[in-house]
Amino acid sequence: MTVGSKLAPELLRRAGDLQKLDFNTTDDLPEVDDIVGQARALEAIRFGLGMGHDGYNLFVLGRTGAGKRTVLNHFLAERAKAEATPDGWCYVNNFAQPHKPHAIRLPPGRASALRREMSQLVEDLKAAIPATFEGEAYRARVEQIDAAFTSREEKAFGDLGDDAMARHVALVRTPMGFSLTPMRDGETMSQEQYEALPEQARAEMDAALKEFKERLEKLLHQVPAWQKERREQLRALNRETAMASVTRPIAQIKQAFADLPRVLDYLEAVRLDVLDNVGMFRKGEESGESPDLPSFSRYEVNVLLDQDAGQGAPLVMPEFPSYQNLVGRVEHKSHFGTLITDFTLIKPGDLHRANGGYLLLEIDKVLRQPFAWEAIKRALLKHEVRIESLAEMFSLVSTVSLEPDPVPLDVKVILFGERWLYYLLFEMDPDFGALFKVPADFEDDLRRDDQGQALLAHLIASVARRHALLPLDRTAVMRVLEQQARNAGDAQKLSLHVGQLADLLREADFHARARGADVVRREDVQRAVDAQIARTDRIRARMQEEMLRGTLLIDSDGAKVGQVNGLSVMQLGGVAFGQPSRITARTRLGEGEVVDIQREAKLGGSIHSKAVLILTSFLTARYSSGRVPCLSGSIAFEQTYGEVEGDSASVAELCALISSLANVPIKQSLAVTGSIDQCGQVQAIGGVNEKIEGFFDLCRARGLTGEQGVVIPQANVEHLMLREDVVEAAAAGRFHIYAVSTVDEAIERLTGVDAGETDAQGVFPRESVNGLVCARLDSFVQMRRSFAQPIRAVAARSRWRVLNGHGHASVSFKRK
């Protein structure tokens, strides 16, 4: 192959060699022991999982569908089972401060055991305590305490009544309490009798009433103290009576948890609280002393996390990582129209469940949830999980809530995400680099050599088995390998996108079963590929229809000056297809500027604007050296109404400008794609296969003449993986693909005119394209000079002063 020549058909598509596949069907292939093509990522994962120091969490980055979760599951499934089971955690009541529940750490399986023991304890006490208080001895002591209180009260009021009687004052007990009344001859006096007394007698009686009233008030103030003393005696009696019934079962539980000081402290607090609240065990739940905390629930154990020994480390993969789902929450319940809560309503989050193990998160899902990312960072930085309500943090509600003890955190967090998210977080979040020090970057493709094809064949076999699909024969596997090369956009590579691979295998299996086969063959895979394209082909077909009808103006024959067929790729809904575009250029006498109409209309992206500046620089460097800048040009993408971005049209734009300057027509039967640098070298672009096929489809619809073709960069030849119908047309000479390395090769191919090279004096041949461009520019220079001479003559004669009645002013023209 010579540079700039037509490409041979065998270069347009790298077909697979069936002799390289040494099996009949994928059933003959064993399972792959390792992950295909991800050596770098696997090493990073091994390192990150093995590193126990702070901050060595993992960020697994790569395209969605690259099999990142599959790889991590492969690694973690066995690793997690082999690791030690983490300790369990539970919340218990803080009897001194109920709004601050205590968190207790217990060995695996012990938290659930403690919950069962406490539940059984409450049931036992409900039966044992009432039975204890039904004994005769307890009743006798209660009666003794009541009798002593009654005797003291009666004696005090009796002594007061006797003293009052001696002073002719009666102490009368009424339904409303006690009253003092004057007496005479053993009878109480009426108001008339009292007022009829002599003044001296009445004064003595008033003094006596005042004295006994003061003594009665003091006595009445003393009664509550005696009642309190009675209650304390009864409480002490209750504690003493219940002591044996309470202490014995709690002591048995203490013996079972003797190795856990925190549990022993809690059990002692339970013992004291039960002794202080014996009444609720005697009378039942209805006697609960607090309306917002059921009496017996105060002794429950709220288990957050507990696993039996030997289950290994937890592996948690939440689907909805919201703030509350990550850190846990405190629920509320309605009680007489009021929201109340207690420690039994504390619910664990994913961080609790993953404590001592692994937490796998999709970073894009985390970032979409308010405050979720901050919650993860705070937990990792402080090594604890603190349950806090967002509503209370921001004072949005005023409901009573809890302040549970934070739970110490030891977890390995593994994030999954696209590469741009990793680099964005690394750049914008100062904490990110300190917390996620291990990136595991997944490869997008695999080298397409014998070893790579063998590895991917094993992967195909594994995917088919995993999804219970029919086995594939060698021809089907080879067609899948070719499609994976096409998906990679490079004939020398194989795509490692497991999601696309699995979809293709499932659809090929569907077509094979539809024809009643027991093995998937090449035609089944091809039918699946064609069906995938057909399902998403409406927009492409509609645009091609508009071109055929002449609504979108794209020529595929003839030749025109300053007009060229450019090629672009449209990406819609995960489907890419090529689309030809008409690019036009106009040149005229000017100031050395090239106007990018797309940019001026704010329809050009920054990369496209850069490409126009580069081609302008090339034009200036090649053709304007030693000349006065006198070129004014404009380029535009015709009939485009959205943003134009990218530099793959810069060769086409440059050729259109050169064609306009040289007045040499460009063959409309050809389309061109490629990027240009300031030295005129044609550079590689993306989507070369889709671009070629887009122009081919239009030409085929209009009828292939044998003149049509596409000009591509030489650097893109190794990426070619064209459809078989395009290759067949090229082999039959009905369509052509040309590769070029420089803009001169491109302009020669597009115009059919020699581009021309400079001689020893740096002059291009007159009939060459470059020579014609130089001649046109020279004519612009002459035109400028012819326009400038009359102006200079007028300027030389026009030196005057203008006078007026208010002062002097002068205007002068100077030669330049």
Gap between the Cα atoms of 346 and 324, Å rounded: 11
The pair of three-digit structure tokens given for residue 337, joined into one six-digit string: 């129209």
493 is catalytic: no
Q: Which of 412, 493, 667, 691 is catalytic?
A: 691
Gap between the Cα atoms of 757 and 742, Å rounded: 13
The pair of three-digit structure tokens given for residue 113, joined into one six-digit string: 């055991």
Helices marked H in 445-521: 450-466, 474-488, 498-514
Gap between the Cα atoms of 425 and 415, Å rounded: 12
Q: Which of 322, 648, 675, 768 is catalytic?
A: 648
Strand-pairing partners, residue 56, are: 436
Of 531, 658, 512, 530, nearest to 583 (Cα)? 658
The b/e string for 54-65 (b: 16+ C-beta within 10 A; e otherwise) is eebbbbbbbbee
**Nearest-5° angle of CA 240, CA 241, CA 246?**
90
Tell me the CA end-to-end span of the chain in Å, nearest whole number.
55
What is the DSSP secondary structure assignment for residue 9, as one 8-state letter? G
Burial of residue 646 (CB within 10 Å: 0-12, 13-18, 19+) is middle
Q: Which residues contact 809 (CB under 8 A, 6 or more apart)?
A: 801, 802
602 is catalytic: no
Burial of residue 447 (CB within 10 Å: 0-12, 13-18, 19+) is middle
Q: Which residue has the tokens 């205590």?
A: 102
- Angstrom CA distances, 288 to 97, 142, 235, 296, stand at 17, 23, 16, 8
The b/e string for 521-539 (b: 16+ C-beta within 10 A; e otherwise) is bbbbbbbbbeebeeeeeee
- Angstrom CA distances, 272 to 242, 246, 275, 280, 816, stand at 11, 9, 5, 14, 107
Gap between the Cα atoms of 477 and 483, Å rounded: 10
Neighbours of 209 (CB within 10 A): 16
What is the DSSP secondary structure assignment for residue 329, as one 8-state letter? E
Gap between the Cα atoms of 316 and 355, Å rounded: 9
Relative to beta strand 412-417, strand 58-61 is parallel
Active centre residues (catalytic): 648, 691
